A and B are shown apart, each in its own frame.
Chain A
Amino acid sequence: MTEWLAHPGYQLIIAGLLAAGLGRRLGGAVGLVAPLVAIASLWALPDGHSLYAQMAGYQIQPLRLDRLSFIFALIFLIASFLGQLFALPENRRVLRGAGLVYAGAAVSATLAGDLISLFIHWELTALASLLIIWDGQTKPDAAHIRAGLRYFLLQILSGLLLLIGAVIWIRSTGHTRFEHLGLDAPGGIWIFFAFGIKCAFPLLHNWLQDAYPRASAAGTVMLSAFTTKLAIYALARGYAGTEILMWIGATMTVFPIFFAVLENDLRKVLAYSLNNQLGFMVAGIGIGTALALDGAAAHAFAHILYKALLFMAMGAVLHQVGTIKASELGGLYSSMPWTARFCIIGSLSISAFPLFSGFVTKSMILSAAAIEHQFGLWLVLLFASAGVLDHSGIKVPYFSFFAHDSGKRCAEAPWPMLLAMALTAALCIAIGVYPQALYALLPFGSDYSPYTPEHVVGQYQLLFFAGLAFVTLVRLGWYPAEIRGINLDFDWFYRRAAPWLWQGLYAVFLRLDAGRTTLVQAVQRRGQRYLAQAFTEQELSAVWPLSTGAALLLILLGVWLSKLL
């Protein structure tokens, strides 16, 4: 029994249930201490440590510690701590409790050694994250509830696909272990799409941009860390080297940047940017070499931190100003100088400036593409890197803290938020300055040095000249203005087109149904008359042969039956 209490994921889940029932001080303290305890437990577990159990006649393995699961579990726990710290000023019980359970479920899913435990924790992340989204409004209105349900539906669909795939896999292999699957494995294609939904593959991505910006300031910080990176972990374990992932990843890096340029809600900009960053990791998994897979894991690690930092900065703005629309912000630097500085550190990290975390991890994936001579992929990733500079590097800090002065004045963010941002920013810089510490944790043992003159100069050229393009476009007045409104994305097809289509079909059906009723009534009346003639006025079979009467009877029976339907 005691060895189960050393499971870092279960520690968080228990702490979450506890914290949900506690008040501000005690609950907050539990929220902060639990991730630290879990980090200590994770660190203390020996590599290769396992826990087994029996479920429905199968052996399951709720704890399997190897280097791949370790690095993801570790960054999830760090993100959980930072998220809880950031959440202190909001003081929401649901956020504390569901946040810890969510993080615990994500950690447990990365530590799960079999498909059944993976499925259980996969679904638990969906449930806990739904609570975080709904908690974005104190009294959620109908639109908010619906958005949460849309999100949940997609997550549950992912779980369902995983379950189907897992059943096929277990039936044909006779064991439940979660290891490399590939698309040709029994059930492999089902599980691939299950992971793909959670990873926000193109056309399966809208739940992310739809739901994440609806959570509270700290809620979005928590959401940004776990679900999608859990999917990255699962893809890295199950589908490393699956070639199509290169092109799925490449698509993911490119199309969200156009939406991010146009989007007005700055947290939604970050959600599109999150989608774009996932693309780099997915492409790395598709390349499948040790360097590429290590790059994907390292990029996930760095990305969780700088993305959390950016969401924290925008969350702090939302918390202090009450809006996060670019069209209503600007000139906040004098009110929130520290938030602005931390935001800029996040921007420099995600844009992959040398000495910041994004540079030392993203260049691993680009180098891996180059070493494999994937010229097309390399060019696409390079193109997307210039896009990252626009939406996350420039747009987010520029339109909130600088640009034209909106006239809004507010106090600086409360200290727990600032502290959370400071710690996250420090980690972003630490990884950039001393990447060896992160590289030492990487699972596939690649050897890489990011700071070659070639890399650094090439990256500086790319970023500085892209920045020059920004200045040029702004001065020419060609940069698209920030205006209120939303932008249609693929979710239009199921939020608008599908209901319209359904209504149209339903109207046609109603018409057809009315027509059928008329027809049935006519046939019935006629039939009654014929029958009356056939059976009463004349001797049987004199006017109507018997067979006609029987046929009429049968038709009547059919008509009567069809009325019953």
Chain B
Amino acid sequence: MNRAARWAQGLLVLACLASLIAGFLIEHHPHFAVEAWPGFFALFGFLAYCGIVLGAKRLRPWLHRPEDYYDGPPTEVNAAAPQAPQDDRHD
């Protein structure tokens, strides 16, 4: 990892700590009970992000197809005998 990336990561960790500490210092006027927990948004942000990325990753095997998937053999119904060559199923 190069120096710039190391710096960026260090800054991010500092920013996380600062925002977490600030959560304990400020006054809360919550609409929902959870808003008053000092680290709620931090925890929620971390977990939501992981959930989204890892969830999407699990969807990939089902959804992923080659780039020419839709441009494969013609699907015109008026082709007399629609004998589709089977090269469109790379999955």
Chain A positions near chain B (C-beta within 8 angstroms):
143, 257-259, 261-262, 370-371, 373, 375, 378, 382-383, 386-387, 389-390, 453-454, 457-473, 478-480, 483-489, 495-496, 499-500, 502-503, 506-507
Q: A375-B32, A457-B19 are in contact. Are A465 and B43 (CB under 8 A)?
A: yes
Whether A262 and B16, one on each chain, are in contact in the complex, defined by CB atoms closer than 8 angstroms, is: no
Whether B45 and A466, one on each chain, are in contact in the complex, defined by CB atoms closer than 8 angstroms, is: yes
Whether B65 and A461, one on each chain, are in contact in the complex, defined by CB atoms closer than 8 angstroms, is: no
Whether A453 and B27, one on each chain, are in contact in the complex, defined by CB atoms closer than 8 angstroms, is: yes
Q: A454-B28, A485-B64 are in contact. Are A261 and B56 (CB under 8 A)?
A: yes
* Size bin of chain B's contact surface: 35 or more
Whether B65 and A487, one on each chain, are in contact in the complex, defined by CB atoms closer than 8 angstroms, is: yes
> Which residue of B28, B40, B59, B75 is within 8 Å of A499 (Cβ)?
B75
A470 cross-chain contacts in B, Cβ below 8 A: 49, 53
B3 in contact (CB, < 8 A): no
Whether B16 and A468, one on each chain, are in contact in the complex, defined by CB atoms closer than 8 angstroms, is: yes
Inter-chain CA distance A463–B49, complex, in Å, is: 9
What 3 A-B pairs come out closest when comparing CB atoms? A261-B56, A469-B49, A461-B41
B63 cross-chain contacts in A, Cβ below 8 A: 259, 262, 487-489
Whether B50 and A454, one on each chain, are in contact in the complex, defined by CB atoms closer than 8 angstroms, is: no
Question: Secondary structure at chain A's binding surface: helix, strand, loop or mixed?
Answer: helix
Inter-chain CA distance A383–B66, complex, in Å, is: 30
- Interface pairs (26), CB distance under 8 Å: A261-B52, A262-B64, A373-B31, A378-B32, A453-B27, A454-B27, A460-B18, A460-B22, A462-B41, A462-B42, A463-B45, A464-B15, A465-B19, A466-B45, A466-B48, A466-B49, A468-B46, A469-B53, A471-B9, A484-B67, A486-B67, A487-B60, A488-B65, A489-B63, A502-B77, A503-B82
A480 cross-chain contacts in B, Cβ below 8 A: 53, 56-57, 60
Q: A461-B19, A465-B45 are in contact. Are A262 and B77 (CB under 8 A)?
A: no
Q: A378-B32, A387-B48, A389-B49 are in contact. Are A503 and B75 (CB under 8 A)?
A: yes
Inter-chain CA distance A453–B26, complex, in Å, is: 7
Q: A382-B44, A503-B82 are in contact. Are A262 and B59 (CB under 8 A)?
A: yes
Closest beta carbon of chain A to B58's beta carbon, Å = 10
A460 cross-chain contacts in B, Cβ below 8 A: 15, 18-19, 22
Given contacts A457-B26, A466-B48, 10 further A-B contacts (CB under 8 A): A259-B63, A387-B52, A464-B15, A465-B42, A468-B46, A469-B46, A473-B50, A480-B53, A480-B56, A503-B82
Q: A371-B31, A468-B12, A485-B65 are in contact. Are A461 and B23 (CB under 8 A)?
A: yes
Closest beta carbon of chain A to B20's beta carbon, Å = 7
Whether B50 and A390, one on each chain, are in contact in the complex, defined by CB atoms closer than 8 angstroms, is: no
Most chain-A Cβ atoms within 10 A of its Cβ — which of B18, B31, B48, B82? B48
Whether B65 and A370, one on each chain, are in contact in the complex, defined by CB atoms closer than 8 angstroms, is: no
B7 in contact (CB, < 8 A): no
Whether B26 and A454, one on each chain, are in contact in the complex, defined by CB atoms closer than 8 angstroms, is: yes
Inter-chain CA distance A383–B55, complex, in Å, is: 13
Whether A473 and B53, one on each chain, are in contact in the complex, defined by CB atoms closer than 8 angstroms, is: yes
Whether A390 and B53, one on each chain, are in contact in the complex, defined by CB atoms closer than 8 angstroms, is: yes
A500 cross-chain contacts in B, Cβ below 8 A: 75
Closest beta carbon of chain A to B28's beta carbon, Å = 6
